[in-house]
Amino acid sequence: MSIGKVKLKLNYYSLDRFPFLNTVILKSRLAWSIRLRWLAVAGYFLATIVTEVFFEISLPYRQIWIVLFSLAFLNLIYQASLWIQKEFSFPAEIIILHIHIIIDLICLTLLIHYSGGIENPVYLFYIFHIVISSILFSKSSPFIIATLVVILFFSLVYLEYNGIIAHYCLYEISIHDSLLAVVLILIVFFITVYVTEYICTTFMRIYRDSKRIIDKQNKQLIEADKEKTRFFQFASHELKAPVIAIKSTLDGVTKSFAGSLDPKILDLLQRASKRSTQLLTILKELLELSQKRNIKTIMENEKIDINKILNDTIRNEKTSAEQKNITLNLDLNKNDITTCGRYEDFEKVFGNLINNAIRYSPNNSVINIKSEVNNHNFIFEIQDTGIGIPDNEIHKIFEEFYRAESAKKLVNFGTGLGLSLVKQIVENYSGKISVKSKVDRGSTFRVTIPIKTC
Ligand code: ADP
């Protein structure tokens, strides 16, 4: 065979033809079909014992068991090859699956032959193969397998009916006595085979087409999200420098000419400076968020002491809590917890959550902060008795710029970016963040991060 032809053949089995499958899925289906085969062999073996012992039907049991034994032996080889060869190429797996199905069909035909031929409704088991092949393969394969079933079963019945091979009678009266019965059974069975094949392949085609559309849309959404992040990064980066320049000019003017300026103008300039500080905060958080989104994996892996970071952050937030006479109730894990990551990331997570709890809590209230280690996970929980988050807004609080209405009323300025940043950092560490909240009762944020060794 020329190289061109080999390539053509391999292209036939390329992933494009089977886009809904991949080697991992195929391998799991191979393993599944092996388990199914063990069940089928054991089930058939038990059935022959029952027919021999309880119904005393005389069948060539030795031949049946030889076929079952051969099938079991083949299955053992399939199983061993799956254990030994951890990874098959996609075309190889497709070819192996085809071979398995063809051998199964031949074995089933032999079993039907030794157990009564057309008289044994076991021939309906062919349908399973049609369904399985329609699920596994696309285009012509299921049709070819359906035709193979028809050829095998027709040949068997033809050879038995004409006495070319033996017919093992199951009942006292043989179906072979009536040609009409034989023809009727064959016609109905063949129609069933092709209708099953048609229904299954049509259904699978619709499923594959829908999956293809969903995958495509998913890709477009991911691309749009990346584009948005790139835009955020570009805009915040470009805007930061002019805003810093405006702010330092305003600060310079208010400081240098404070005495000589009209109080109204001074007030206006100070307000403008405050606004530019807020704008700078937004830009910094936006830049940080887009950077964290771009670098999904943790780049700098340094050994960090989580307890130290948590204690440092709590110390930093103490002043804001004291200003509102809020008590920070601590229940922290005393043992050393070291993991891989960046000090700043953990500081951002703890800092944002503690700061939010303080900002959205009333004066003289209590905030409970708890940390623990469970199943190689570090867990941080913060519970406040603040304004809470309405049910219809809770799912939006991790979106960029989202601020609940009640939060806007209580705290004038907020970027709406803190929680997006926290969520992004936690996810970059393969962790999770969840929130439970009741309006006017308070909120509980819980962060779970797997502990890693460097
Ligand atoms: P910001 O606090 O700057 O508005 P965040 O992203 O940190 O931005 O929070 C987003 C929104 O989530 C807040 O505006 C607020 O509505 C809600 N939120 C966050 N933490 C709390 C909390 N502890 N209690 C009540 N609402 C909260």
* Cα distances (Å, whole numbers) of residue 101 to 75, 108, 146, 198: 12, 10, 11, 18
With vertex at residue 152, the alpha carbon angle to CA 146 and CA 154, rounded to the nearest 5 degrees, is 100
Query: At residue 372, what are phi and psi to the nearest 5 degrees?
Result: -155, 165
Please state, in angstroms and rounded to a whole number, the distance separating the CA atoms of residues 376 and 411: 37
Q: Is the shortest distance between the CB of 352 and ligand 1 below 6 Å?
A: yes
CA nearest to 440, candidates 361, 324, 323 = 361
Residue 134 falls inside a structural domain: yes
Residue 230 falls inside a structural domain: no
Residue 207 falls inside a structural domain: no
Contacts with 251 (C-beta within 8 Å, 6 or more apart), sequence order? 273
Burial of 358 (0-12, 13-18, 19+ CB in 10 A): buried
- Helix, strand, coil fractions of the chain, as percent rounded to 5: 65, 10, 25
Q: Is the shortest distance between the CB of 452 and ligand 1 below 6 Å?
A: no
Please state, in angstroms and rounded to a whole number, the distance separating the CA atoms of residues 42 and 49: 11
Q: Is the shortest distance between the CB of 418 and ligand 1 below 6 Å?
A: yes
Domain's final residue, options 177, 208, 234 = 177
β-bridge pairing 302-305 and 338-341: antiparallel
Residue 149 falls inside a structural domain: yes
CA nearest to 415, candidates 397, 394, 388 = 397
Residue 208 falls inside a structural domain: no
Please state, in angstroms and rounded to a whole number, the distance separating the CA atoms of residues 128 and 151: 17
Q: Is the shortest distance between the CB of 417 and ligand 1 below 6 Å?
A: yes
Q: Can you tell me which atom of ligand 1 is nearest the CA of 388?
A: 25
Please state, in angstroms and rounded to a whole number, the distance separating the CA atoms of residues 36 and 28: 12
What letter represents residue 433's amino acid?
A: I
pLDDT digits (tens, 9 = 90+) for 206-236: 988 898 899 999 999 999 988 988 888 888 8
Query: At residue 301, what are phi and psi to the nearest 5 degrees?
Result: -95, 95
Domain's final residue, options 153, 177, 201 = 177
Q: Is the shortest distance between the CB of 383 and ligand 1 below 6 Å?
A: no
Q: With residue 366 as reference, give the H or E element that holds it.
A: strand 366-374
Residue 188 falls inside a structural domain: no
- What does the block give as tokens for 128? 């399973």
Give the model's pLDDT for residue 4: 45
Q: Is the shortest distance between the CB of 282 and ligand 1 below 6 Å?
A: no
CA nearest to 451, candidates 254, 278, 305 = 305
Reduced to 3 states (helix: H, G, I; strand: E, B; else coil), residue 450 is strand
Q: Residue 131 belongs to what domain range?
A: 3-177
Residue owning the nearest CA to atom 25 of ligand 1: 388
pTM for the complete prediction?
0.64
* Cα distances (Å, whole numbers) of residue 326 to 317, 367, 383, 384: 11, 7, 13, 10
Q: Is the shortest distance between the CB of 355 and ligand 1 below 6 Å?
A: no
Please state, in angstroms and rounded to a whole number, the distance separating the CA atoms of residues 382 and 310: 12
Q: Is the shortest distance between the CB of 386 and ligand 1 below 6 Å?
A: yes
Domain's final residue, options 125, 157, 177 = 177
Contacts with 350 (C-beta within 8 Å, 6 or more apart), sequence order? 309, 310, 313, 314, 380
pLDDT digits (tens, 9 = 90+) for 328-360: 999 999 888 899 999 999 999 999 999 999 999
Burial of 317 (0-12, 13-18, 19+ CB in 10 A): buried
Residue 176 DSSP code: G
Give the model's pLDDT for residue 258: 76
DSSP codes of every residue in 26-85 = HHHHHHHHHHHHHHHHHHHHHHHHHHHHTS-----HHHHHHHHHHHHHHHHHHHHHHHH-
Q: CA end-to-end span of the chain, whole Å?
A: 53
Residue 291 falls inside a structural domain: no
Residues of the chain with pLDDT under 50: 1-17, 19
How many structural domains compose the chain? 2
Ligand 1 centroid – CA 398 distance (Å): 9
* Cα distances (Å, whole numbers) of residue 156 to 3, 153, 219: 40, 5, 51
Yes or no: say if 349 and 425 are a contact pair by the CB < 8 Å rule. Answer: yes
CA nearest to 339, candidates 301, 297, 375, 304 = 304
Yes or no: say if 387 and 359 are a contact pair by the CB < 8 Å rule. Answer: no
Angle between helix 90-114 and helix 61-84 axes, rounded to 10 deg: 170
What letter represents residue 194's amino acid?
A: Y
Q: Can you tell me which atom of ligand 1 is nearest the CA of 360?
A: 24
Give the model's pLDDT for residue 296: 60
Angle between helix 23-53 and helix 61-84 axes, rounded to 10 deg: 160
Residue 426 falls inside a structural domain: yes
**CATH number of the domain where residue 417 is located:** 3.30.565.10
